[in-house]
Amino acid sequence: MAKDDANQVKPADSADKHELWDRLESLRTAMLTTHDAEGRMGSRPVTVLKIDDGRMWFFTPVTGGIADDVKRDPEVHLSVMDKDDDLFVSLRGEAHVERNPAKAKELWSTMAGAWFPGGPDDPNLGVLHVDVHRGDYWDVKASKLVQFYEMAKASLTKRTPENLGDHRRFTN
pLDDT tens per residue, range 29-40? 999 999 999 999
Q: For residue range 17-28, what is the model confidence (pLDDT) as tens digits?
A: 999 999 998 998
Torsion angle of C-alpha atoms 7, 29, 60, 40, degrees rounded to 10: -40
Q: Tell me which fold the domain 7-141+167-171 belongs to.
A: Pnp Oxidase; Chain A (2.30.110)
This prediction has a pTM of: 0.84
What's 73's DSSP letter?
-
Per domain, the residue ranges of the chain are 7-141+167-171
Q: For residue range 72-117, what is the model confidence (pLDDT) as tens digits?
A: 999 999 999 998 888 999 999 999 999 999 999 999 999 999 999 9
Torsion angle of C-alpha atoms 18, 171, 26, 52, degrees rounded to 10: -70
Choose among 4, 7, 112: nearest CA to 60: 112
